[in-house]
Amino acid sequence: MILTKYDIFFKVLETKTISQAAKELGYSQSAVSQTIKSLEEELETTLFIRQKSGVILSRDGFEYLPYLKSVQANLDNLRTKKQEMKGLNQSKLRIGTFTSVSRHLLPSLMKKFIEMYPNIQFELYQSEYTNIEQQLIEGTLDLGFTCIDAIKQIHYQELYYDEMFALVPQNHALAKYKVLSMEQITKYPFIQLDEGEYSLPVQTCKELGLPIQIKHKVYDDSTILAMIRQNLGISILYQNALSDYDDLCLIPIQENLFRHVGIAYNNYDTLSYAGKTFLDFILKRTPEILKDKTSFHII
């Protein structure tokens, strides 16, 4: 670190001798003396009174002291910011995510963030809610997009909520209805979207006291759509995670199954500067990115 005349001034003030200040700074006594003299000439005054035992602040030195402290504080902040920016530009962010976030939100966030910090690197881990929380606790992820209703131990900031709909083949007995109840849905073989330990349809059925006929459990949305087309069951999926389902019937559910999605982290105080910066960026930019996507309801 390159020392300024203010660093040297405060080291002399701290040690009360030119010689000791020079020793601690690794400078010669003449260099320290010349620096103090230069500062005094700049301010057109005498800051230190030289004595045999060392130096003490002059009267003008006391007057200038608050202002010199302010300058030094700003220099320290500038150095801190420089180190943070250097670290940010060389950082790698590990992000947990799931299908709809990966398709509709995260790529836009990444693009805009990389425009600001071109050297940032992202590592994305597609997973389910429970695993994302565990990885955040273990420290193998920095941030994670997740369903906040599934969170048990970590911190989060809610971003939006989305809705689940029933999907049935066009020739199915339920296809004629404009709205379906969970009671109607549970009467038929069900293909469950595998979201880990927490499943919104399963949780809703438990709360309603309804048995659900889980015939298959599948992680991938597109695979579930293909299975529905083959009459292997019906399902409940998030509308914003779907594509190419025009040959199926998408039907609202009477009980309104809403998933509340947030960005989660284990401990804000221990987040890297890059992690904190991206977290703040997510909170600020998510409403802007999702504002025209009708299946996302911004908080």
Q: Each residue of 261-282: pLDDT tens digit?
A: 999 999 999 898 899 999 999 9
Percent of the chain with pLDDT over 70: 99
What architecture (CATH level 2) is domain 160-259?
3-Layer(aba) Sandwich (3.40)
- Same topology, domains 5-86 and 160-259? Answer is no
The H or E element that residue 49 is part of is strand 48-51
Percent of the chain with pLDDT over 90: 79
> Can you give the pLDDT at residue 210?
96
**pLDDT tens figures, 21-32:** 999 999 999 999
- Looking at residues 99-125, what average pLDDT do you find? 93
Of residues 34 and 246, the one with the higher pLDDT is: 34
92-159+260-294: which CATH topology? D-Maltodextrin-Binding Protein; domain 2 (3.40.190)
Sign of CA dihedral 267, 109, 288, 278: positive
Residue among 111, 138, 140, 108 at smallest CA distance from 123: 140
5-86: which CATH topology? Arc Repressor Mutant, subunit A (1.10.10)
Domain borders along the chain are: 5-86, 92-159+260-294, 160-259
Residue 80's pLDDT band (boundaries 50, 70, 90)?
confident
Q: Reply yes or no on whether the pLDDT at 204 is more than 90.
A: yes
Residue among 214, 258, 213 at smallest CA distance from 238: 258
Residue 1's pLDDT band (boundaries 50, 70, 90)?
low
Residue 86's pLDDT band (boundaries 50, 70, 90)?
confident
- Looking at residues 230-246, what average pLDDT do you find? 89
Whole-prediction pTM: 0.72
135 within 8 A of 125, measured Cβ to Cβ:
yes
